[in-house]
């Protein structure tokens, strides 16, 4: 089965989070374990390509087209020297993608024209696939940015099966009703949008209307998404399509505590106690935290935004940092309000708080390896790869019971035999602080923490497990043919 995988990210080259990790891992796991062949297509980000010194070759020139007043040409490039089993194609349209960031400006604000550039990207994908006669058997889109591409491909290839994975349904690619005709969308897609959306059209809805199947990143998130979208056009389509919840996996090669030639001291489940101690010391040294062995380290590798509960995290942990009862390491970009708060707190407790304002792979490895806990008071968490990566390193999650966290974190206080983390009962500063306090007290027990760390490190959260479930969905769709 030859599949086209439409995405906006590909780790480690073009990535801001879980989408990039899954785009690198899921197609590869399906190809190696289930006999598929995936080509990836995503935008060409000129500044990232240049910064990383990547090599590409131009394979197709697309004609100029106008979207919402911007007339632009595009070229399709094949990325050279990558590790993916199939081809990776990059749609180059500098008028739309030569930006400081992938999704946001240097103030971390979403680009105002994000839906329009998503529409142009979608037209380019379909135009290229038709011009080059790519001959795919299945299309796998991801999130609202794939909506225009899926709509165009449905129009051009009516019998081509399509699946949409929703990584985060909070982001919908909203459209204005007065701009629909300027988006270069096919007439059939516009008719469906007007029929189903009323005054709330979006590229996520366009993707759903073009899809034959929908998946999300966990069974728990299926329930959350259906509840949050009930009474909307998106919710009505989702209910009719019965989404499948499949928990994503972890790249066990990338996230391997036993790997050598990394900034971490290698360890495995049998040596977790010593490994955590040595890596804590290295983490403290690297980030210039006070070298104290008996103070737990809380490590968080994540975007610091409202949906992640980052405001609750900082307010709940601030007293612990000031009282020198815990150290906190944060790795990831933050929105404006939280940046200001972090700046003030860093000046007050520099030996107990470290902040890296971007994703840094080497610091992330060291953070997971050297931390005792990771705290995830998320308001929304479709899957939550962070807790699964933390398990690989024997780092225990303190998490809200939402979405994929509800599916993957068992509270050790409730179930000491199978538990591997701590669940926060509600979204409040008091609940986060109380749960972290209980987790810190639990860490002082003599033997139980090491036993639990050993157990979670041996769990299977690999992409091979995830790919097996996706292969079943592919098989159901593949019989339709193009």
Name residue, tokens 């899957």.
Answer: 383
By the 8 A CB rule, do 205 and 173 touch?
Answer: no
Q: How far is CA 320 from the centre of its chain?
A: 29
Report the chain's mean pLDDT, rounded to a whole number. 95
pLDDT of residue 415: 97
Give the model's pLDDT for residue 335. 86
Assess whether pLDDT exceeds 50 at residue 482: no
As a whole number of angstroms, the distance between CA 321 and CA 434 comes to: 15
**Nearest one of 254, 160, 286, 168 to 211, comparing CA atoms:** 160
The pLDDT, as a whole number, for residue 481 is: 37
What are the pLDDT digits (tens) for 74-133? 999 999 999 898 999 999 999 999 999 999 888 778 899 999 999 999 999 999 999 999
Q: Is 67 helix (H, G, I), strand (E, B) or coil?
A: strand
Note the residue count of the chain.
482
CA atoms within 13 A of residue 382's CA, in its CB half-sphere: 23
* Structural tokens at position 472: 């079943």
**Beta strand pairing status for 162-166 and 37-43?**
unpaired
Q: What is the pLDDT of residue 449?
A: 97
Per-residue pLDDT, averaged over 341-351, amounts to 95
**Does residue 379 register a pLDDT over 80?**
yes
Per-residue pLDDT at 244: 97
CB 3 within 8 A of CB 39: yes
Mean pLDDT of the region 139-152:
98
User: What are residue 451's phi and psi, to 5 degrees?
Assistant: -65, -40
- The band of 41, judged by pLDDT with boundaries at 50, 70 and 90, is very high
Instruction: State both tokens at 288.
Output: 């210039």
For residues 8 and 19, give the distance between their C-alpha atoms in angstroms, rounded to a whole number. Answer: 8
């Amino acid at each position: 089965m030859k599949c086209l995988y439409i995405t906006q990210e590909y780790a480690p080259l073009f990535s801001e989070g879980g989408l990039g990790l899954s785009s690198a891992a899921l197609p590869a796991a399906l190809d190696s374990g289930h006999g598929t062949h995936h080509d990836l297509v995503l935008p060409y980000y000129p500044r990232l390509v240049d910064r990383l010194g990547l090599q590409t070759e131009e394979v197709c020139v697309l004609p100029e087209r106008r979207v919402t007043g911007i007339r632009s040409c595009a070229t399709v490039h094949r990325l050279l020297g990558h590790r993916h089993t199939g081809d990776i194609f990059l749609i180059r349209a500098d008028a739309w993608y030569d930006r400081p960031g992938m999704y946001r400006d240097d103030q971390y604000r979403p680009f105002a024209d994000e839906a329009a550039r998503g529409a142009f990207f979608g037209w380019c994908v379909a135009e290229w696939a038709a011009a080059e006669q790519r001959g795919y058997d299945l299309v796998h889109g991801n999130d609202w940015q794939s909506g225009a591409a899926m709509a165009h491909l449905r129009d051009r290839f009516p019998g081509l099966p399509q699946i949409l994975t929703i990584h985060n349904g909070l982001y919908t690619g909203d459209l204005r009703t007065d701009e629909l005709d300027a988006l270069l969308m096919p007439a059939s897609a516009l008719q469906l949008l007007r029929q189903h959306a009323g005054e709330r059209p979006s590229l996520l809805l366009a993707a759903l209307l073009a899809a034959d199947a929908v998946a999300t990143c966990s069974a728990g998130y299926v329930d959350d998404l259906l509840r949050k979208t009930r009474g909307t056009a998106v919710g009505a389509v989702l209910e009719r399509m019965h989404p499948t919840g499949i928990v994503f996996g972890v790249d066990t090669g990338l996230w391997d505590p036993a790997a050598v030639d990394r900034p971490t001291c290698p360890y495995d489940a049998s040596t977790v106690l010593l490994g955590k101690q040595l890596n804590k010391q290295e983490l403290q040294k690297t980030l210039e935290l006070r070298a104290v062995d008996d103070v737990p380290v809380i490590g968080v590798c994540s975007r610091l935004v409202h949906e992640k509960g980052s405001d609750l995290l900082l307010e709940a942990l601030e007293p612990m940092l000031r009282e020198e009862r815990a150290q906190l390491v944060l790795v990831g970009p933050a929105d404006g309000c939280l940046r200001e708060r972090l700046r003030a707190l860093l000046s007050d407790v520099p030996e107990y708080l470290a902040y890296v304002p971007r994703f840094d792979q080497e610091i992330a490895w060291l953070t997971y390896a050297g931390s005792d806990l990771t705290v995830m008071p998320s308001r929304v968490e479709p899957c939550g790869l962070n807790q699964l990566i933390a398990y690989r390193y024997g780092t225990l999650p303190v998490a809200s019971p939402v979405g994929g966290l509800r599916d993957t974190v068992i509270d050790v206080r409730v179930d000491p035999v199978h538990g591997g983390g701590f669940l926060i009962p509600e979204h409040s500063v008091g609940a986060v602080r109380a749960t972290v306090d209980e987790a810190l007290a639990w860490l002082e027990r003599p033997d139980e923490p090491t036993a639990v760390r050993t157990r979670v490190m041996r769990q299977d959260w690999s992409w091979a497990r995830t790919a097996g479930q996706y292969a079943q969905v592919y098989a159901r769709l593949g019989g339709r043919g193009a």
